[in-house]
């Protein structure tokens, strides 16, 4: 079994502050962490490896510092880590990113075809949730988003049953392999890495892939050049003014509803229509 | 059952003591595993702080080329004595301080410790972070032979363990090197805040000519409500480190909350203008061991040594700790190297570590100031009384009242007598001198 997990290093947004003047993220001094969903994807892959044997390969596109996040994946049980890093990759939007990751995965597939490819459901610094699906489309393999459980997995029959979260509940899907999942945290709780793994990881150096070697990427599809997205303006929305709280127990349902309608500015319309239907005039 | 993890030496802690030990042992050819509980070395470590380079040069002669993340050289330093509305300042500025590498730099530990730890890793030490050592492993003879951690399969073995766990000395106690926890009388609690400020503004406020100048001020008197303790105000590259510290016992006895004391200090009319407009970035509390020479733990047992704050190696009077820690870590490492050469890890052999420290400034200074904590404890009004006295005297001295100078002098003298009798003053000074001379 070969599982490939794509991860991202993100600023710890629980620690992020916004520059009030420019409206942009202040990244300086903000610790970088592995995207919280992604580590669960790694864990799910490692659990499959424990069950079926094989290998877990982790890839990321990012600055050299992103090697830290890959090393954390090695701690969690991944076997091989690849860092796609090059200035030419810089400034990529989700389209360019999905191209680079898909192309890298194709190269890995040539060595050992992946049975499953995992992504976190979204990155907390952008929240687009587009890269995983983008890669699935480029690889032309089935996509299951918001996966919360792998009920069964059969690398021989090449099928799997996966649960995914939908608004109304849970959808249970059978799929052929290879499949690409974007996962929720429930997919697998992260276990504390054993000390021997920590030691392996501390000595581990991720492989570095550039835009040219060992795989050549199409220069028109990477980095800024390959990114049609334009960010018009980033701003912090003005906080909404707090609403009024009307306690039903204090004033009764009718008064509470009336008060709510009044606040929303539709009470008069309601009154007159109610009055009209009752044949009375409103003062 | 995985293979037993074995190394030549284990270091507990990624502070200055632990990293110095790991670095020196790795350079000496030992296989070293250094275990730190924080997310990275220094993640939770706070200090004032002024870092003294002599100790660093001792373990890393080419440290300057390795671009240590220093904030500012300390080119001006001294003391401020605060009364409730005034300050008497004694500052020392010298061209001598301006030669780099300087003798002292302000440092933020969250930046410095990871850099220092990386030097040990480069020398070959294996640094494992986010891992807490939970207990020492001992053999049937009672020799320490390894440690257990809070990770699955978390046991590691080595014939020598160097404990550099800092002030919370759980393992030192478990090793039987010290009988009990530090009593509140012999441990200070310090709160520190890091405030950011644009370098230009900072330089203007503190009269600094540029980024290669900085001040370190230690502050007494009203800063700690006149109780024994100190406050500090240091300039960093783009910010200010400010804090107060008092013996834990004082906080308890006077029902003071550390954060309130700091807030009060920051609001002092002399201090406030320096801080205005700055932005709070980091806030934390940390203990400082002040047990002094006589209450230090034994420094070595069978298969184990202890260095740095865990061993109480702090000179509170001169706010020195990191340099003592580094020198001690180095001395412990050298003893470990010798022990490996001889194949002898007994307490008797490892006692050479203590002998080396006795010969260095580390234990010489500790010995000299052995009575300092007791002095302040037995003279509780010392700081407050004299700080107020000096300020009141200065006010009279510097103000023109239209009265003859002779009466002004008499007034100052009678001020002294009101606050503390001449014999009282003489007695205080005598006690202070004794405490300083050891
Ligand atoms: C407010 C304040 C101001 C100070 N100002 C100065 C100053 O200006 N100049 C100066 O030289 N000194 C100063 N000091 C003193 C100085 O900070 C200490 O003496 C020095 O840090 C001691 O180094 P250490 O390596 O012994 O301990 P620490 O720096 O405390 O390092 C101990 C390390 O061990 C880790 N650890 C602890 N237990 C475990 C465990 N069980 N498993 C794994 N890891 C563990 C901790 O996370 C920590 O990283 C100041 C201290 C304080 C609190």
Give A23's pLDDT tier (boundaries 50, 70, 90): low
| Cβ neighbours for A277, distance < 8 A, ≥ 6 positions apart | none
The reply to whether residue A195 touches residue B151, judged by beta carbons under 8 angstroms, is yes
Q: For residue A283, count other CB atoms closer than 10 A to its CB.
A: 5
Strands (E), B150-278: 156-157, 161-163, 187-196, 215-221, 229-236, 239-247
Domain residue ranges in chain A: 2-221, 239-283
Q: Name the fold adopted by B184-289.
A: D-Amino Acid Oxidase; Chain A, domain 2 (3.30.9)
Q: Which residue has the tokens 């991944």?
A: A78
CB contact under 8 A, A195 and B128: yes
The third-level CATH classification (topology) of the domain covering B5-71+107-178+292-359 is: FAD/NAD(P)-binding domain (3.50.50)
pLDDT at residue B1, rounded to an integer: 46
Cβ(A19)–Cβ(A72) below 8 Å: no
How many other C-beta atoms lie within 10 A of the C-beta of residue A262?
14
Q: Are A3 and A56 in contact (CB under 8 A)?
A: yes
* Cβ contacts of A31 on chain B, cutoff 8 Å: 39
**Which residues, including other chains, have CB under 8 Å from residue A162's CB and lie 6 or more apart?**
A144, A147, A149, A150, A151, A172, A173, A175, A179, A181
On whether the CB atoms of residues B303 and B10 are closer than 8 A, the answer is no
A102 sits in which H/E element? helix A94-111
Q: Read off the tokens for B188.
A: 């200070």
**Cβ of residue A192 closer than 8 Å to a chain B Cβ:** yes
SS3 A59: strand
ipTM of predicted assembly, 2 dp: 0.88
Instruction: Kindly state if the Cβ of B174 falls inside 6 Å of ligand 1.
Output: no
* β-strand partners of B223: none
User: From CA A263, how far away is CA A254, in angstroms rounded?
Assistant: 14
Tell me the C-alpha to C-alpha distance, in Å, between residue B416 and each of B377, B389, B421. Answer: 22, 7, 7
For chain B, the structural domain boundaries read 5-71+107-178+292-359, 184-289, 373-437
Would you call B145 helix, strand, or coil by DSSP? strand
- Whether A42 contacts A183, CB under 8 Å: no
Q: According to the model, what pLDDT value does residue A232 have?
A: 80
Per-residue model confidence as pLDDT tens for chain B (438 residues): 457 999 999 999 999 999 999 999 999 999 999 999 999 998 888 899 899 999 999 999 999 999 999 999 999 999 999 999 999 999 999 999 999 999 999 999 999 999 999 999 999 999 999 999 999 999 999 999 999 999 999 999 999 999 999 999 999 999 999 988 778 888 999 999 999 999 999 999 999 999 999 999 999 999 999 888 899 999 999 999 999 999 898 899 999 999 999 999 999 999 999 999 999 988 899 999 998 899 999 999 999 999 999 999 998 888 899 999 999 999 999 999 999 999 999 999 999 999 999 999 999 999 998 888 777 777 777 777 888 888 888 888 888 878 888 888 888 888 878 887 777 777 787 787 777 776
Closest residue in chain A to residue B156, using alpha carbons only: A195
B50 CB under 6 A from ligand 1?
yes
Q: Please tell me whether the peptide bond between B101 and the residue prior to it is cis, using omega within 30 degrees of 0.
A: yes
With cut-offs at 50, 70 and 90, classify the pLDDT of residue A283.
very low
Would the pLDDT of A25 be above 50? yes
Q: Which residues contact B346 (CB under 8 A, 6 or more apart)?
A: B143, B302
Contact B153 A199 (CB under 8 A): no
Residues 6+ apart with CB under 8 A from B324: B55, B308, B313, B314, B315, B362, B365, B366
Q: State whether the beta carbon of B229 lies less than 6 angstroms from ligand 1.
A: no
Do residues A144 and A121 make contact, with C-beta atoms less than 8 angstroms apart? no
Contacts with B96 (C-beta within 8 Å, 6 or more apart), sequence order: none
pLDDT tens-digit series, residues A86-117: 999 998 899 999 999 999 999 999 999 999 99
Task: Report residue A162's pLDDT band, with 50, 70 and 90 as the boundaries.
Answer: very high
Q: Is the CB of B218 under 6 A from ligand 1?
A: no
Residue in chain B lying closest to A28 (CA): B281
- pLDDT class of A234 with cuts at 50, 70, 90: confident
**Residue B325 Cα to ligand 1 middle (Å):** 8
Strand ranges for A62-122 from DSSP E:
80-84, 116-120
A68-90 confidence digits (pLDDT tens): 999 999 999 999 999 999 999 99
pLDDT of amino acid B428: 80
Superfamily of domain A2-221: HUPs (3.40.50.620)
The residue among A17, A198, A205 with the most chain B CBs within 10 A of its CB, best to mutate, is: A198
* Mean pLDDT score of chain A: 90
The β-bridge partners of A82 are: A59, A207
- Decide whether B5-71+107-178+292-359 matches B184-289 in CATH topology: no
Name residue A208's beta-bridge partners.
A83
User: Residue B6 and residue B163: Cα distance in Å, rounded?
Assistant: 17
Residue A20, pLDDT > 70, answer no
Q: Across all residues in chain B, what is the average pLDDT?
A: 92
Which two tokens mark B216? Answer: 């370190």
Burial (CB < 10 A; 0-12, 13-18, 19+), residue B205, is middle
Say whether B151 and A198 touch across the interface (CB within 8 A): yes
pLDDT at site B398: 87
Token duo for residue A61: 């596109």
């Amino acid at each position: 079994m070969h599982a490939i997990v794509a991860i991202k290093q993100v600023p710890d947004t629980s620690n992020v502050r916004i520059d009030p003047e420019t409206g942009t993220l202040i990244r300086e001094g903000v610790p970088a962490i592995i995207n919280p969903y992604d580590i669960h994807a790694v864990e799910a892959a490692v659990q499959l490896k424990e069950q079926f044997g094989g290998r877990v390969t982790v890839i990321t596109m990012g600055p050299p510092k992103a090697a830290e996040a890959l090393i954390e994946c090695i701690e969690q049980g991944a076997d091989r880590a690849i860092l796609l890093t090059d200035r030419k990759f810089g400034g990529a939007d989700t389209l360019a990113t999905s191209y680079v990751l898909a192309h890298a995965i194709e190269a890995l597939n040539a060595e050992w075809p992946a049975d499953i490819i995992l992504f976190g459901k979204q990155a907390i610094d952008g929240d687009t949730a587009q890269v995983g699906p983008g890669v699935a489309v480029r690889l032309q393999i089935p996509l299951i988003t918001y996966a919360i459980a792998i009920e069964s997995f059969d690398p021989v029959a090449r099928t799997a049953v996966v649960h995914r979260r939908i608004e109304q509940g849970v959808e249970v899907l059978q799929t052929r392999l290879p499949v690409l999942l974007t996962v929720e945290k429930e997919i697998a709780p992260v276990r504390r890495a054993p000390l021997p793994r920590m030691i392996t990881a501390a000595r581990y150096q991720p492989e570095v892939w550039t835009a040219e070697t060992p795989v050549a990427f199409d220069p028109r599809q990477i980095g800024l050049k390959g990114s049609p997205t334009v960010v018009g303006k980033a701003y912090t929305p003005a906080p909404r003014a707090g609403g009024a709280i009307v306690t039903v127990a204090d004033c009764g349902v009718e008064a509470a509803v009336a008060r709510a309608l009044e606040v929303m500015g539709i009470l008069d319309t309601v009154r007159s229509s109610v009055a009209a239907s009752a044949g009375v005039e409103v003062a | 059952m995985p293979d037993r993890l074995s190394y030549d030496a284990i270091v507990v802690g990624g502070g200055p003591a632990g990293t110095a030990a790991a670095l020196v042992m790795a350079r000496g050819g030992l296989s070293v595993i250094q275990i730190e509980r924080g997310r990275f070395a220094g993640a939770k470590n706070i200090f004032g702080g002024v870092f003294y380079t002599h100790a660093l040069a001792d373990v890393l002669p080419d440290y300057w080329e390795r671009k240590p993340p220093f904030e500012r050289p300390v080119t001006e330093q001294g003391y401020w004595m605060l009364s409730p509305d005034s300050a008497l300042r004694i500052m020392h500025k010298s061209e001598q301080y301006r030669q780099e590498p300087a003798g002292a730099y302000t440092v933020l530990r969250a930046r410095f410790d990871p850099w220092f730890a990386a030097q040990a890793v480069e020398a070959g030490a294996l640094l494992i972070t986010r891992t807490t050592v939970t207990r020492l492993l001992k053999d049937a003879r009672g020799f320490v032979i390894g440690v257990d951690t809070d990770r699955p399969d978390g046991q590691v073995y080595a014939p020598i363990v160097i404990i550099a766990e800092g002030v919370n000395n759980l393992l030192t106690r478990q090793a039987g090197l010290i009988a009990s926890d530090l009593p509140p009388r012999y441990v200070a609690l310090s709160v520190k805040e890091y405030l950011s400020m644009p370098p230009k503004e900072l330089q203007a406020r503190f009269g600094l000519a540029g980024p290669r100048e900085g001040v370190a001020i230690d502050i007494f008197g009203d800063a700690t409500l006149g109780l024994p303790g100190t406050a500090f105000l240091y300039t960093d590259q783009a910010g200010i480190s400010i804090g107060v510290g008092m013996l834990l016992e004082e906080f308890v006895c006077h029902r003071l909350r550390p954060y309130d004391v700091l807030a009060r200090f920051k609001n002092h009319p002399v201090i406030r203008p320096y801080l205005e407009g700055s932005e709070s970035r980091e806030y934390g509390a940390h203990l400082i061991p002040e047990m002094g020479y006589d209450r230090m733990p034994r420094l070595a047992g069978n298969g184990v040594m202890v260095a740095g704050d865990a061993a109480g190696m702090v000179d509170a009077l001169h706010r020195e700790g990191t340099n003592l820690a580094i020198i001690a870590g180095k001395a412990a490492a050298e003893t470990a190297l010798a022990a490996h050469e001889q194949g002898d890890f007994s307490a008797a052999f490892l006692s050479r570590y203590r002998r080396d420290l006795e010969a260095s400034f580390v234990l010489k200074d500790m010995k000299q100031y052995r009575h300092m904590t007791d002095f302040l404890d037995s003279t509780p009004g010392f700081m407050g009384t004299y700080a107020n006295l000096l300020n009141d005297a200065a006010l009279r001295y510097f103000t023109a009242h239209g009265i003859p100078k002779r009466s002004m002098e008499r007034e100052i003298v009678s001020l002294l007598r009101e606050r503390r009798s001449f014999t009282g003053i003489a007695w205080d000074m005598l006690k202070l001198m004794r405490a300083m001379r050891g």
